[in-house]
Amino acid sequence: MTQAFNYGTGVFAGMRAYWNDDERQLFIFRATDHFERFRQSASLIRINVPYTERELTDILIELLRIEDYHDNTYIRPLAYKASAITGVGLDDNDAVTMFAQPSIGYIKDIQGLKLGFSAWRRVEDNAIPARGKISGAYANSALIKTDATLAGYDDALVLTEDGHVSEASTSNVFIIRKGVAITPSITSNTLEGITRRSLIELLRTELGIEVVERPIDRTECYIADEIFLCGTGMQIGPVTQLDHRTVGTGEIGTITNQLRELFFKVVTGNMPRYRDWLTPVYVPEKMR
């Protein structure tokens, strides 16, 4: 009878922690940023999360230590309407929970994703806020992904009501054209992705690639040199086929490949200048 189960009145976050075997350390990727968005998502549907970002991070650290994970880990915090009622109103009975489990691993070895354009449209921000991870809105993602896989694709790109590219079922999207990385703006009914934001910085700062946030037409994707998806679940997924058309050379693009290698160095703690993106879980051996 929990309201969130009946009506989707909950929010969640998808997070990862990466294991560094050399340091015997588990690093949570951008914990503060994820929990900030988690709290913002909750506020969109009037859920009170009675913990600060720092407190949520401390809870997560305690959870991971209790679980004693020494491998890459996927983390799912949730906040939801907990009343056992049948009405759809947003009351004040809120709850927060969190779990973690071993992740399915990297997608860094994938040779290329095959996508199509979905017949479904992305949920509009004026209907259900797309920039928040609201549980009920993911029925839209489920329809998109399931129809894509039944049609023989790995996933699908989704258009907004005005016909511009929004994102994939659960991932942000970038295209590369003539050495420039282009991604839909955060006003294109997209999730304000933390991986997306991280990759924009890495593209600009580390690879010297210009990044433009603007509307993308469907046909621009057909003539793109490279396409990749990104997100906590996807990490970085190169796209080599779209609507039965070859993307670029049909192989993983140079920029995508460089970015992917760089990203996994960052998240595993092998890029010192980005250590502030990481939260260590275990007390270092020398401090014990």
Range in 105-109, 136-140, 203-207, 252-256 the model is least confident about: 105-109
276 part of a folded domain = no
Across 166-193, average pLDDT: 96
d(CA 5, CA 9): 8
Q: Please, are residues 159 and 166 in contact by the beta-carbon 8 Å criterion?
A: yes
Share of the chain above pLDDT 70, in %: 96
What is the pTM for the complete model shown? Answer: 0.94
Q: Please, are residues 191 and 172 in contact by the beta-carbon 8 Å criterion?
A: yes
d(CA 161, CA 159): 7
Q: pLDDT at residue 286 above 70?
A: no
| Backbone Cα Rg of the chain | 19
Same domain, 101 and 140: no
Range in 42-56, 64-78, 82-96, 238-252 the model is least confident about: 82-96
Same domain, 90 and 182: no
Same domain, 147 and 235: yes
Across 113-139, average pLDDT: 94
Which CATH number is 87's domain given? 3.30.470.10
Residue 219 to residues 68, 222, 243, 252, Cα–Cα distance (Å): 48, 5, 11, 20
Q: What is the DSSP letter of 148?
A: H
d(CA 230, CA 237): 6
Q: pLDDT at residue 104 above 70?
A: no
Q: How far apart are the first and last CA of the chain?
A: 47
> 121: helix, coil or strand?
strand
Share of the chain above pLDDT 90, in %: 92
Grade residue 115 by pLDDT with cuts at 50, 70 and 90: very high
Same domain, 118 and 157: yes
Grade residue 85 by pLDDT with cuts at 50, 70 and 90: confident
Same domain, 118 and 261: yes
17-69: pLDDT as tens digits = 999 999 999 999 999 999 999 999 999 999 999 999 999 999 999 999 999 99
* CA 30-268-157 angle, 5° bins: 65
Same domain, 157 and 196: yes
Full domain range(s) for residue 212: 113-267
**CB-based burial, 179-193: b 16+ in 10 Å, e otherwise:** eebbbbebebbbbbb
Grade residue 111 by pLDDT with cuts at 50, 70 and 90: confident
Which CATH number is 198's domain given? 3.20.10.10
Number of structural domains found in the chain? 2
Same domain, 90 and 159: no
